[in-house]
Amino acid sequence: MNSIRKTFSILVTIIILVAFAFPPHARAQDESSPPSRKLYEAFIEGLKPEKMELILNHEPDGEGKVGHLYLDLIGCDIGGVRIDHLTVEAVDVEFTPPSTWNTEPPDVKNMLDIKAKAVILEEDVNKALLSEEFGDDDGHWHDLLLDFRDGGLYVRGYYLTKFLFRLDILIELEGRFEIRKGKELWLADYVMRVNKVDLPKSITDRAISQIQPVIDLNEFVFPLVLDKVEQKDDRVVLASRILPKPFEGIRYTYEKPKQLD
């Protein structure tokens, strides 16, 4: 179940928790650059997008405060998984002071409100699974697969046991995501099978209860509330009630250079 838990976690947690976080190894900034430019470069360094747009309503002040921020990322990398499209709009954001950004990457201290929308493709999740980004530490899990279906999802994996003899156990889980209280993502209407045999409901409930809620935003420091999760046959879309929108302001755009053959 550990690998299944990790698979679910990438659907929301890495988006929300890392959207405003920068890696500690981000390169030092040019001291002559304005604070907005340093933020722009830090987002590129930390999230490695294919395309990006950043809009600020004004330059960060001496305390690192920005009244309004919009970020639109295509093909960014979060936690080793490609996120097809991530859009974030935040109000009254307080970063660490710009005076520290020459040696340390910017970090978020607080914000009043945040709106977000993320699109995650099935093929990108499975690439991460195949690369063993989310395999368990003992290496017993293999051939992990996640399949987004219209209104639901399917997770499959083989667990290799080596007690007395080698035995591959096929574990399958079907269900759908459900938002509760605006801050909790639960797995609902689920069925679990072992070697194609349905497990009794009591055993399945006990196993699934260990990962419920899949995501709990009640403990999240930023005031993001999820309103919908839309599952299609090749992607999942996560969104707040009000969607992020761009506005007029200081604007930076980026496109990753194309590699020559």
129 vs 81, 118, 141, 142, 174, CA distance in Å? Answer: 9, 19, 10, 9, 17
pTM: 0.75
Distance CA 85, CA 98 (A): 28
156 vs 39, 41, 61, 207, 236, CA distance in Å? Answer: 40, 39, 50, 15, 17
Residues 39-70 pLDDT 10s: 999 889 888 899 999 999 999 999 999 999 99
What pLDDT, on the 0 to 100 scale, is given for residue 31? 63
Place of tokens 């007029």: 248
For residues 98 and 60, is the Cβ–Cβ distance under 8 A? yes
Give 159: exposed, middle or buried? Use CB within 10 Å, 0-12, 13-18, 19+. Answer: middle
The DSSP secondary structure of 32-75, one letter per residue, reads TS-HHHHHHHHHHHHH--SEEEEEESS---TT-EEEEEEEEEEE
Provide the phi-psi class of 48: left if phi over 0, else alpha when psi is between -120 and 50, else beta. left
Place of tokens 């003992």: 138
Residue 174: strand pairing partners:
154, 191
Q: Splitting the chain (261 residues) into consecutive groups of 10 residues, what average pLDDT does each group show?
A: 47 49 51 87 89 97 95 84 88 92 86 85 78 52 77 80 74 84 80 87 81 66 71 82 94 88 57
What pLDDT, on the 0 to 100 scale, is given for residue 35? 94
Distance CA 36, CA 95 (A): 11
Place of tokens 């506005």: 247
CB atoms near residue 224 (< 10 Å): 21
For residues 82 and 114, is the Cβ–Cβ distance under 8 A? no
